[in-house]
Amino acid sequence: GPMVSAIGLGCLSFGGLFGPTTKAESLICLDAALDHGISFYDTANIYGAGVSESVLGEWLALRKPKITLATKAGIVPGSTRRIDNSASYLRAELEASLRRLGRDYVDLFYIHRHDQAIPIEDVADSLGRLIDQGLIGGYGLSEVSPGTLRRAHAVRPCRAVQNEYSLWTRQPELGLMQACAELGVA
């Protein structure tokens, strides 16, 4: 996949999850990140119910930066949050994300979580079709195990994995980081 800056910008907070924010503050943040050499920007359809993607879309139209852009889908918000990795749901959510972002293509499209009712092999095949159709450059998996990564990658190469790796959890050290290195997955 594309080379990106070692530090990326996660755009969750533009949707107000961590407290009140404004579009103006978010645009200033995006400008500062770009000015400091950050070239990887990560968002999702559920960040502020599309607000994060809309702010990014406005900024992209104004600045026209050369960046690598990732977004995610798969979590269905509501009173009983659920996961949906069906081909029709992922495509519909991707199309809505592309409209908000003002793009016809996104570099990286993640499933936000794996829907255990749908085999990961079927999900990889669905995401592969989005690649073939020119809507995404590659796909990623979020919060998955090494086995899930290996099964998906066998169907269609996975470009990236996004799992929590922090002071709170070192779980990716139990095999996921090794699987990513072995498979050439970021």
- The β-bridge relationship of strands 136-142 and 160-162 is parallel
Nearest to 120 by CA among 94, 98, 149: 149
- Which residue in 47, 89, 105, 139 is the catalytic one? 47
Q: Is 47 among the catalytic positions? A: yes
Q: State both tokens at 45.
A: 């359809």
CB neighbour burial string for 17-27, b if at least 16 within 10 angstroms, e if fewer:
eeeebeeeebb
In contact, 12 and 162? CB cutoff 8 Å? no
Angle at CA 57, nearest 5°, toward 131 and 68?
A: 45
- The β-bridge relationship of strands 40-42 and 68-73 is parallel
Q: State both tokens at 27.
A: 């645009």
Catalytic residues: 47
